[in-house]
Amino acid sequence: MDVTRSSESPVETARAPAERLRLPAALTRGRVAAFVVLLGASFVVGMVGPAALLPAAPPALRPLVGVVAFLVLVLPLGWYHFIVPLEQAFELRLAEQAAKASAAEERLRSHEHDARLRHALEIAEDEDAVLRIADQALGVMAETAGVQLMVASDPDGDIEHSLVRGDMDPAAECVIKSPRECPTVRRGQGLVYEDGMALTACKGLRGQIDAGCAAACAPIFVGGRGTGMIRALGTAGDPTLYRKLQALTFNAHQIGTRLNTIRSVAASEAKATTDPLTGLFNRRALDARLEILIEQRAPFALAVADIDHFKKINDTYGHDVGDRALKALASALKEGVRNHDLVCRFGGEEFVLLLIGFDAPGAVEVVERVRGLLPKVTVRAGVPSFTISVGVVSHSEADDAPALLRIADQLLYQAKSAGRDRVQITPRRAPSLAPAPLTASS
C-alpha cells in the first residue's frame, strides 16, 4: 500500500515510547547507587548516633536505639528507592498490557469488518447494492470521525454519488466535480493531510477549515482508472490517521474491485445485446424480451419496419450514406416511442418495434408518428429522404415469438407489394393505411 504525507511527519513521535521504556532501567541503577550510599550513612548514624546523642543512656540500650534509628532511616529510603519504582513499573506494565489488548481487540474488529465488507460486496448484484454496502461501511467508520465517499460512473465524467456520514463540518466536505480534480486520484495513492493550513490542506474542500483539522484520503480505482475516493477526518498530529488510511485503502480497493466486476459484466451484456452501428438492441435482446412478455401473458404489439429502396440508396450514394440512413431511422424510432418500449435492429435495413400494452391499431398510431419524423431526421443526418414500409401484429395473433415475427414480416411484404410507404395490419383488424401526410407539427 502506498502511503504518503502531505507535510513532514515528526519521526520523534515514534521514537518517544522506546526512550521512555529505557528510562526506568537507568533510574533504577541510579537509585541502587544512592541507596547504598544512604544505607552506609544510616548504619553509621545508627551505630554512632546513640552514643553521641544519648551519653547518659545505659550501654545495653544503645545498640537497640541504634537499630531503631537505623530502621527509621532505612525503611523510608527503601520504600522510596525500591517499592515506589516497582509500583510504577507494575502500573506501566498493566497500562502496556491494556494498550496491547485494546490494539488486538481493535485489529480483530477491523478484520471482522473487512471480512464482512468483502463478503457483502461479493454478493452485490449492481452498483446500487455496492453503494448501499459502502454507505453501511461508512457508518461504522463514522463512529470516530466524519467520512465521505465520492464515486463517478465514468472516470472522465462528473461525480454522481457523494455520501457523507458522521460529524463533518460542511466546510470540510470535498466538492470536486470529477475524479480528475482529486489530488489523491491523480497521484494514484493514499494521502494524509496532516493539518488544515492553507498550504497543505486539500484544494477540493468547500471552504476554509480549522488548522487543527486533518484528513486521510484513499483513491477508488475501477478497471485501473481513478473513479472516486473515500476520505476520513481527524485531528492534526493524530498518529491514528495512518491506521485510518489503511482502512480507507482497503475499503476503496474492495469497492473499486466490485464496481469493476459489475461494470465489466454490464458492458459485456450490453455489447452482446446491442447493434454496433445504430446502438439499438439486437435480435438477441428482442427474443429475450418477447419470451418474458409471452410467459407473463402481457399485451403488446409488434411492428417490423423496412427502408424502401434501401439498395438503391447504397448503390447511388455509397454504403457510408446507407449506414447514415440506418442511423437516421434508428433515431426516429427511438424518438417516437416510450422509454420502456423496445427498439431493435433485426438485420440489414429491417427494424422491429416492441410496443408494451398496445394492440395493433394502437401501435399504428405510434408508427405513424415515427413516419412523420423521417423528413426531420433525414435532413439532420444529411442523407437523402426515404420512406418505410411497416407490418404490425398484435400479441394475440400467435402463441409464440417466431410465429408473431413471421406474421409481421408477411404483413411488411404485403405493404411493399401494395406500393411501399405504408403500414399494413391484419385485414380483420383494419384496412391497409395510406401514407401518412407530413405536417409541420410532425
Q: What is the pLDDT along the chain (442 residues), one digit of tens a residue?
A: 444 444 434 334 444 444 444 445 545 555 666 656 655 665 665 555 555 555 655 666 556 665 666 666 666 666 666 677 777 788 888 888 887 877 677 666 677 778 888 889 998 989 999 999 999 888 887 777 889 999 999 888 999 999 999 888 888 889 999 999 998 999 999 988 887 665 567 778 877 777 778 889 999 999 999 999 999 988 888 878 888 888 899 999 999 999 999 999 988 988 899 999 999 999 999 999 999 999 999 999 999 999 999 999 999 999 999 999 999 999 999 999 999 999 999 989 999 999 999 999 999 999 999 999 999 999 999 999 999 999 999 999 999 999 999 999 999 999 999 999 999 998 754 444 444 443 333 3
CA distance 282 to 162: 35
pLDDT reported for residue 328: 96
What's the pLDDT score for residue 12? 41
Predicted TM-score (pTM) of this structure: 0.61
Report which residue type is found at 119: H
Distance CA 292, CA 281 (A): 16
Cα dihedral value 363, 368, 370, 372, nearest 10: -170
Starting at the edge strand found earlier in the chain, the sheet holding 147-152 runs: 3-5, 190-193, 213-222, 225-235, 147-152, 159-165
* Burial group, residue 9, by CB count within 10 angstroms (0-12, 13-18, 19+): middle
Residue 142 CB contacts under 8 Å (≥ 6 apart), including other chains: 165, 166, 167
Neighbour order of strands in the sheet with 300-307: 342-347, 350-356, 300-307, 388-394, 423-425
The set of cell numbers assigned to 120 is 457483502
Query: Is 269 an active-site residue?
Result: no
Name the CATH topology of 126-270: Beta-Lactamase (3.30.450)
Characterize 67-100 residue by residue with b for buried, 16 or more Cβ atoms within 10 angstroms of its Cβ, and e for exposed. eebbeebbeebeeebeeeeeeeeeeeeeeeeeee
194, 349, 368, 397: the catalytic one is 349
Domain with CATH 3.30.70.270 in the chain: 283-425
Based on the number of CB atoms within 10 Å of its own CB, is 17 exposed (0-12), middle (13-18) or buried (19 or more)? Answer: exposed
Correct CATH for 283-425 of 3.30.70.270, 1.10.1660.10, 3.20.20.70, 3.40.50.300: 3.30.70.270
Helix (H) or strand (E) holding 5: strand 3-5
Q: What is the DSSP letter of 178?
A: S
Q: Which pLDDT score, from 0 to 100, does residue 107 have?
A: 67
* Cα–Cα distance for residue pair 317/327, rounded to 1 Å: 15
Residues of each domain in the chain carrying CATH 3.30.450.40:
126-270
Q: Cα separation of 306 and 424, whole Å?
A: 12
